[in-house]
Amino acid sequence: MTTPRIKGVLTPVVTPFHSNGAINVPLFIRQCQWLQDNHIGLAVFGTNSEANSLSPQERMEMLDALIEAGLAPARMMPGTGACDLPTAVQLTRKAVAHQCGGVLALPPFYYKGVSDDGLFRFFAELIEQVGDDALRVYLYHIPPVAQVGFSVELVERLLKAYPKNIAGMKDSTGDIAHTQTMLKHFAADGFDVFAGTETILLDTLRAGGAGCISATANVNAPAIHDLCQTWQQDDAPAKQQAMNDLRAIFQKYPMIPALKAAVAHWSGEDSWRHVRAPLVALDDAQAHALIQTLEEAGFSIEGLKS
In a domain? residue 117: yes
In a domain? residue 119: yes
30: Cα separation from own chain's centroid: 18
Nearest Cα to Cα of residue 17 among 56, 58, 46, 73: 58
Confidence (pLDDT) at 3: 73
CATH number at residue 168: 3.20.20.70
In a domain? residue 245: no
Question: 46-95 pLDDT, tens per residue?
Answer: 999 999 999 999 999 999 999 999 999 999 999 999 999 999 999 999 99
What stretches of the chain show up as alpha helix (H) in DSSP? 25-37, 56-68, 85-97, 116-130, 143-146, 152-161, 176-186, 201-206, 221-230, 236-250, 255-267, 284-296
pLDDT at 24 over 60: yes
How far CA 301 is from CA of 246, 262, 297, in Å, comes to 13, 8, 13
User: Choosing from 94, 170, 239, 260, which is the catalytic residue?
Assistant: 170
In a domain? residue 303: no
Annotation marks residue 170 as catalytic: yes
In a domain? residue 91: yes
Annotation marks residue 140 as catalytic: yes
**Burial profile 120-152: b = 16 or more Cβ within 10 angstroms, e = fewer:** eebbeebbeebeeeebbbbbbbbbeebebbbee
Confidence (pLDDT) at 17: 98
User: Choosing from 110, 111, 112, 140, which is the catalytic residue?
Assistant: 140
Q: How many domains does the chain have?
A: 1
In a domain? residue 68: yes
In a domain? residue 125: yes
Domain that holds residue 42: 8-232
Supply the pTM of this predicted model: 0.96
Task: Tell whether residue 213 is among the known ligand binding residues.
Answer: yes
